[in-house]
């Protein structure tokens, strides 16, 4: 079985966000998560973005590692 390793720029693109280095830095700088808040419940996601994150985490999909990375960066 082939496992795909996704990176932060591909996650931003998947979420419909600008994935240039500067835009990713700005997003991370201006969006913060409280320690107890799950990333998929953050108020700055739209419905589709939140659903994608929740579904990927629930399924323990290929995206989980990079979603976790983003979660850490947002805290």
What's the per-residue H, E or C state across the chain?
CCCCCCCHHHHHHHCCCCCCHHHHHHHHHHCCCCCCCCHHHCCCCCHHHHHHHHHHHHCCCCCHHHHHHHHHHCC
Q: For residue range 5-38, what is the model confidence (pLDDT) as tens digits?
A: 799 999 999 999 999 999 999 999 999 999 999 9
Residues 50-71 have pLDDT tens digits of 999 999 999 999 999 999 999 9
The dihedral built from the CA positions of residue 38, 55, 62 and 21, taken in this order, carries a sign that is negative
For tokens 């973005």, name the residue: 49
């Amino acid at each position: 079985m082939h496992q795909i390793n996704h990176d932060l720029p591909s996650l931003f693109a998947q979420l419909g966000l600008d994935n240039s280095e500067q835009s990713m830095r700005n997003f991370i700088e201006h969006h913060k998560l409280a320690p107890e808040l799950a990333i998929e419940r953050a108020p700055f996601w739209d419905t589709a973005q939140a659903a994608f994150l929740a579904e990927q985490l629930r399924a323990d999909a290929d995206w989980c590692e990079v979603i976790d990375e983003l979660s850490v960066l947002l805290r």
